[in-house]
Amino acid sequence: MRLLIVEDDPSIAEPLVSGLERQGYAVTWVKTGVDALNAPEHDLVLLDLGLPDLDGQVVCRRLRERSTVPIVVVTARSDELDRVTLLELGADDYVVKPYGFRELVARIRAVLRRTARDDVGEDPTGRLEVGNLTIDQRTRGVKVGDAELFLTPKEYDLLLLLAEDAGAVFTRDQILRAVWDENWWGSTKTLDVHVASLRKKLGDPSLIETVRGVGYRMRS
Ligand code: CA
* Residue with the larger pLDDT of the pair 70 and 116: 70
The Cα–Cα gap between 103 and 38 comes to: 28
- Distance of CA 33 from the midpoint of ligand 1 (Å): 11
Per-domain residue ranges for the chain? Answer: 2-114, 127-218
Output the CA 74–ligand 1 centroid distance in Å.
9
Q: Can you tell me the distance from the alpha carbon of 216 to that of 218, in angstroms, rounded to the nearest whole number? A: 7
Residue 80 reports pLDDT greater than 60: no
So what's the pLDDT on residue 76? 77
Report the C-alpha gap between 55 and 175 in whole angstroms: 36
Statement: residue 45 has pLDDT above 90: yes
Report strand pairing: 2-6 vs 44-48: parallel
* 153-164 and 172-179 helices, crossing angle to 10°: 130
CA of 169 from ligand 1 middle (Å) equals 30
Q: Are 93 and 110 in contact (CB under 8 A)?
A: yes
State the architecture of 127-218 in CATH terms.
Orthogonal Bundle (1.10)
Ligand 1 centre and the CA of 19: distance in Å? 19
> 185-206, pLDDT tens digit by residue?
566 678 888 899 999 999 988 9
pLDDT averaged over every residue in the chain? 86
Using the mean position of ligand 1's atoms as its centre, give its distance from the Cα of residue 84 in Å.
Answer: 22
What is the per-residue pLDDT for 42? 93
Looking at residue 183, its pLDDT comes to 54
Architecture of the CATH domain 2-114: 3-Layer(aba) Sandwich (3.40)
pTM of the complete model beyond 0.75: no
Model confidence at 37: pLDDT above 80 = yes
Peptide bond into 40 cis (omega under 30): no
